[in-house]
Amino acid sequence: MGRPPGFDRREVLAAVEREFRKNGYDGTSLDDISAATGLGRGSLYAAFGDKRTLFLTALGDYCDQDEASGAAALAGPDETAMERLRAYFIDAVDRQLNDPEQLACMTSRFTVELAGRDRDATARLRQGFEAQRAALAGCLRAAQRNGDLDPAADPVTLATLLVVDFRGIGSLIGIGLDRAELVAVVDATLAGLPAPPPSAAAS
Amino acid sequence: MGRPPGFDRREVLAAVEREFRKNGYDGTSLDDISAATGLGRGSLYAAFGDKRTLFLTALGDYCDQDEASGAAALAGPDETAMERLRAYFIDAVDRQLNDPEQLACMTSRFTVELAGRDRDATARLRQGFEAQRAALAGCLRAAQRNGDLDPAADPVTLATLLVVDFRGIGSLIGIGLDRAELVAVVDATLAGLPAPPPSAAAS
DNA sequence: GGGGTTCTTTACTGAGCAGTCCAGATCGTT
DNA sequence: AACGATCTGGACTGCTCAGTAAAGAACCCC
């Protein structure tokens, strides 16, 4: 009954997210979004509501995917936990360096722009932070079980530190650090995780 | 010869910086600035040029002060280098937590918002990064001389890591981490710096 | 205290913005 | 094939924005 929409909702949201990520919330107009998606303003309003709602929807969609892919990348056997951890960071660095538009990390960008200004956005970003920290903490616990990490260390505190590094690295890519420096920072971060006491025999 | 300005240039720039820091570059209008400084639009244009120039001036002023105070806080005798390092981080956390308006760190905020969009702003932010990293590296070298840090470690890489942590912590304050968590992250960061080999006798 | 210079204020301009509306196009249904 | 429901795109509205211009106020110097 009636004409079906001529667009794919996920594709549109991905384009919207990309556009917001490029120039920020305030820096993106509905005309930009209309041009990027190919949809007219009327269609956008009918399908997604006003600008803020559209943004929150795109942000939620991005966070969902980001949380799922992060959890998947960090899950696995205890033996390779440390390798997964390093790959998680290096992969994030490479993805951002290889992005032709040098887009800032969505999460970092809006944590800075909207925290304290938009309650709903802040809540969603907080949830994303918790998810990333939980995934990292799980990987750290795996490393502890495998004897790669001091079992006395608190995985949540260390995971918080890793999120801090992750976000900090993302924000510094924008000012032109090269890959070698970034990789060195990642390795220094991981080298700083507390080693297990020498008495315990490593695998 | 002529009427002198009825305002203090430094005070105005500080108010401007505060206003930009509150809502970002795109989120701040000249009316906001006019209200915050008490100056009319004409006066602002005559004294500082257009919005972008005014912003760059305020950013430069802020960076100058930030670089000077950072260098001062990190300079001192080798014996207390590690203490200064910790105080530098804790002080930054407390300043931001105690800020009644919960303003984001100026540097972090505009690194994210303007990197890759405004060449001059990016260059100034890059310079600020280099200055912060150099001051931290100097402090790390002092710690090495005092036997608190592995002399084989590269101070610049570790300083880069500390800047990353510094910026990352600043951006995560916005989503509501409490002071205890932040202090734990600071301590975990410092604990991760490479200890000197046990053969060397500590002071 | 008068003159010239500089600051300050206000009103204005053209552009861009978010959001609305409606006429026409499109499609499933009957 | 015709109907009705839904989608689409462009025109429109009222507002805010950055930047300008000009009239008036304040001040220093002589």
User: Where do the domains of chain B lie?
Assistant: 51-191
For residue B2, the model assigns a pLDDT of 67
**B126-153 average pLDDT score:** 97
- Which nucleotide is closest, CA of A51 to its C1'? C18
% chain B with pLDDT above 90: 76
Ordered alpha helix ranges (H), chain B: 9-23, 30-37, 41-48, 51-74, 81-98, 106-114, 119-145, 155-173, 179-191
Q: Are B72 and B131 in contact (CB under 8 A)?
A: no
For residue B3, the model assigns a pLDDT of 66
Instruction: With cut-offs at 50, 70 and 90, classify the pLDDT of residue B100.
Output: confident
Spacing of A149 CA from D18 C1' in Å = 56
For residue A3, the model assigns a pLDDT of 67
Q: Looking at beta carbons, which residues of chain B come within 8 Å of A181?
A: 157, 160
Q: Which of residues 96-125 of A touch strand C (CB under 7 A)?
A: none
Spacing of B42 CA from C12 C1' in Å = 13
Q: In whole angstroms, what is the distance from residue B115 CA to residue B20 CA?
A: 16
Does residue B202 carry a pLDDT above 60? no
Q: In whole angstroms, what is the distance from residue B197 CA to residue B151 CA?
A: 9
**Between A200 and B50, whose confidence is greater?**
B50
For residue B203, the model assigns a pLDDT of 47
For residue A203, the model assigns a pLDDT of 47
Q: Which of B22, B89, B130, B164 to mutate to test the interface with A (most CBs of A within 10 A)?
A: B164
CATH architecture designation of domain A59-191: Orthogonal Bundle (1.10)
- Which nucleotide is closest, CA of B54 to its C1'? D18
A85 Cβ neighbours under 8 A, 6+ residues apart: A74, A136, A139, A140, A143, A162, A190
Nucleotides of C under 7 A from a protein CB: 4-11, 16-22, 25-29
What digits encode the pLDDT tens for the residues A132-187?
Answer: 999 999 999 999 999 999 999 999 999 999 999 999 998 898 898 999 999 999 99
Q: Tokens in use for A1?
A: 């009954």
What digits encode the pLDDT tens for the residues A112-133?
Answer: 899 888 999 999 999 999 999 9
The Cα of A58 is separated from the nearest Cα of chain B by a number of Å equal to 19
Spacing of A43 CA from C19 C1' in Å = 12
Helices B81-98, B155-173: axis angle to 10 degrees equals 20
Spacing of A56 CA from D5 C1' in Å = 29
Question: Which of A160, A164, A171 is closest, CB to CB, to B112?
Answer: A171
Does residue A15 carry a pLDDT above 70? yes
Question: Which of A112, A176, A191 is closest, CB to CB, to B171?
Answer: A112
Mean pLDDT, chain B, rounded, equals 92
Q: Looking at beta carbons, which residues of chain A come within 8 Å of B111?
A: 171-172, 174-175
With 0-12 / 13-18 / 19 or more C-beta atoms within 10 angstroms meaning exposed / middle / buried, residue B41 is: exposed
Binary contact (A167, B168; C-beta < 8 A): yes
Nearest one of A9, A33, A37, A13 to A23, comparing CA atoms: A33
For chain B, list residues whose CB is within 8 angstroms of any CB belonging to chain A.
Answer: 23-24, 26-27, 102, 104, 108-109, 111-113, 115-117, 122, 125-126, 129, 154, 157-158, 160-161, 163-169, 171-172, 174-177, 181, 184-185, 188-189, 191-194
Q: In whole angstroms, what is the distance from residue B58 CA to residue B64 CA?
A: 10
Protein residue minimizing CA–C1' distance to D9: A40
Q: In whole angstroms, what is the distance from residue A198 CA to residue B181 CA?
A: 28
Q: In whole angstroms, what is the distance from residue A16 CA to residue B15 CA?
A: 34
Instruction: With cut-offs at 50, 70 and 90, classify the pLDDT of residue B101.
Output: confident
Q: In whole angstroms, what is the distance from residue B97 CA to residue A105 CA?
A: 24
B106 Cβ neighbours under 8 A, 6+ residues apart: B17, B20, B21, B59, B62, B66
Protein residue minimizing CA–C1' distance to D8: A43
What digits encode the pLDDT tens for the residues A21-78?
Answer: 999 999 999 999 999 999 989 899 999 999 999 999 999 999 999 999 999 999 999 9
**Between A19 and A116, whose confidence is greater?**
A19
CATH architecture designation of domain B51-191: Orthogonal Bundle (1.10)
Nucleotides of D under 7 A from a protein CB: 4-11, 16-22, 25-29
What digits encode the pLDDT tens for the residues A68-111?
Answer: 999 999 999 999 999 999 999 999 999 999 987 777 788 888 99
Binary contact (B171, A111; C-beta < 8 A): yes
**B125-144 average pLDDT score:** 97
